[in-house]
Amino acid sequence: MEKKIAEILGNFTEAAKNASDSDAVEKLRVAFLGKKGEIAELMKDLKSAPAEQKKEFGQKINLLKKDVESKLGELAAAIEKKELEALINSAESYDVTMPSGVETGSYHPITLVQRELEDIFAAMGFTIEDYDEIVDDYHCFEALNIPKHHPARDMQDTYYLDNGQLLKTHTSAAQNAIMRKYGAPLRAIFPGRCFRNEAIDACHENTFFQMEGIMIDKDISISNLIYFMKTMLSEVFQRDVKVRLRPGFFPFVEPGFELDISCQVCGGTGCPSCKNSGWLELCPCGMIHPNVLIAGGIDPEEYTGFAFGLGLTRLAMMKYGVKDIRTFNSGNLKALSQFESL
Ligand code: DAH
């Protein structure tokens, strides 16, 4: 029996030297530790051993088994390491199921809303225009029928540069340049970043986004304005949105309106979001004032047009349920990266 044990150990050691891959290790395991393997056979032989030697031999076989198991374990680990290294160094070293560790970026919620609106308006024949953030007093105010010392300027205090230029307070500042660039008829939208000298809180920011739109042609009326606003908002909210107009004063439109939409939270029945009125104020608009058309080189006798100034930041807050406006400029990726990508 002792001879047999030594022989098996010798055989195993010899065979282990030649095992060069994990398949060979598995074969070894079956041959020595398997149900019909060498050690199992030895156990059978134990039955016919003399009774007084059974205990001793049994212990020896067990030691042999443990020895083979641990040697086999070491061998398997060494071979696995070698195979992994070879795989890493080979051309096929990547595992497509492994997490990459590279995070893909996401769009800012304002970019998402802006692009969505651009697609909607482009489909309705509007040109998309870009405009400066630093403008002069003429474009931001005077060309819009807001002369110096007009009280409407009070609500639009901003940041002034030493050279007299300023950070634009509204996207309306681009109206004049765009009218001069294209003349009438004209359909354009122009999104942009705006600035105001505001005390910042959950509802106010000094840096925010708007999207302005103008449409100038023969016989443009308030009906056209309502149609375009309603179509655009129904697309954005993916359902039929009711709109209503209330009179509002802006020097560059006549008549001017505040456009409200039915509250998207309660559907118009009244809730805390709409202060129980069923309506949310969303977009000031109106028929372009003749003085503004004249400043833009367009004859108000021949053409009329509408304009609107949509609060993109506000729309993004409504669409995504963002309660604090400061989130947008916070750089807080936890909050900003959770919106659907395009
Ligand atoms: N520019 C205005 C503001 O920021 C908003 C506005 C009102 C734009 C009426 C328009 C308009 O085009 O027709 O307060």
Q: Hey, where are the domains in the chain?
A: 2-93, 109-336
Taking residues 149-168, report their average pLDDT: 93
**Residue with more model confidence, 118 or 39:** 118
Three-class secondary structure assignment of the chain: CHHHHHHHHHHHHHHHHHCCCHHHHHHHHHHHHCCCCHHHHHHHHHHCCCHHHHHHHHHHHHHHHHHHHHHHHHHHHHHHHHHHHHHHHCCCCCCCCCCCCCCCCCCCHHHHHHHHHHHHHHHCCCEECCCCCEECHHHHCHHHCCCCCCHHHHHHCCCECCCCCEECCCHHHHHHHHHHHHCCCEEEEEEEEEECCCCCECCECCEEEEEEEEEEECCCCHHHHHHHHHHHHHHHHCCCCCEEEEECCCCCEEEEEEEEEECCCCCCCCCHHHCCCCEEEEEEEEEECHHHHHHCCCCCCCCEEEEEEEEHHHHHHHHHCCCCHHHCCCCCHHHHCCCCCC
CA–centroid distance, 226 to ligand 1, in Å, is 15
pLDDT of residue 308: 97
Provide the percentage of residues in the chain whose pLDDT is more than 90: 55
Q: How does the average pLDDT of the chain come out, rounded? A: 90
Ligand 1 atom nearest residue 210's Cα: 4
pTM: 0.70
The reported pLDDT for the residue numbered 218 is 97
**Separation of 111 CA from ligand 1 center, angstroms?**
21
pLDDT tens digits for range 179-225: 999 999 999 999 999 999 999 988 889 999 999 999 999 999 999 99
Determine the distance separating the centroid of ligand 1 and the alpha carbon of 308, expressed in angstroms: 6
pLDDT value at 169 more than 70 = yes
Homologous superfamily in CATH for domain 109-336: Bira Bifunctional Protein; Domain 2 (3.30.930.10)
Nearest Cα residue to atom 14 of ligand 1: 170
299 class by beta-carbon count within 10 Å (0-12 exposed, 13-18 middle, 19+ buried): exposed
Listed range (41-55, 139-153, 277-291, 319-333) with the worst mean pLDDT: 41-55
> In angstroms, what is the span from residue 120 Cα to ligand 1's centroid?
20
Q: Is the pLDDT of residue 342 over 50?
A: no
Average pLDDT over residues 279-299: 95
- Ligand 1 atom with minimal separation from the 169 CA: 4
Q: Which of 202, 184, 171 is nearest to 290 (CA)?
A: 184
- Spatial separation of the C-alpha atoms in residues 249 and 261, rounded to whole Å: 19
Q: Name the closest-CA residue to atom 11, ligand 1.
A: 285
Q: Ligand 1 centroid vs 76 CA: distance in angstroms?
A: 75
| Greatest mean pLDDT range, 165-174, 262-271, 280-289 | 165-174
Joined together, the tokens standing for residue 99 give 């997490």
Query: Which range (23-32, 37-46, 114-123, 146-155) has the least confidence?
Result: 37-46
Name the range with the highest mean pLDDT among 28-42, 94-108, 231-245, 292-306.
292-306
